[in-house]
Structure 1
Amino acid sequence: MGLNQENQIRLLQDILSDHQADCTGTVAECEQMERIIKSLMANTHVDANLKGILEDIYLYSQRGKSTSSINDHISDHQDRLTQWVREIGSFS
Structure 2
Amino acid sequence: MPITHQDQLNLLTDILSNHQVDCCGSVSECEQLERLVKSLMVNTNINENVKNILQEIYQYSQHGIQSSDLDRHIKSNQERLSEWINNMNHFS
TM range, smaller chain: over 0.9
The answer to whether structure 1 residue 50 and structure 2 residue 58 are counterparts is: no
2:63 and 2:2 map into 1 onto residues whose CA distance is 26
Calculate the TM-score normalised by the size of structure 1: 0.97
Structure 1 segments (4+ residues) deviating >4 Å: none
The residue matched to 1:44 in structure 2 has which SS?
coil
2:22 and 2:79 map into 1 onto residues whose CA distance is 14
Calculate the TM-score normalised by the size of structure 2: 0.97
The answer to whether structure 1 residue 85 and structure 2 residue 85 are counterparts is: yes
The answer to whether structure 1 residue 12 and structure 2 residue 30 are counterparts is: no
* Amino acid in the other structure paired with 1:42: V
1:91, distance to aligned residue in structure 2 (A)? 2.9
Aligned residues: 92
Within 5 Å, which residues of 2 pair with 1:8-47? 8-47=8-47
The residue matched to 1:90 in structure 2 has which SS?
helix
2:89 and 2:71 map into 1 onto residues whose CA distance is 24
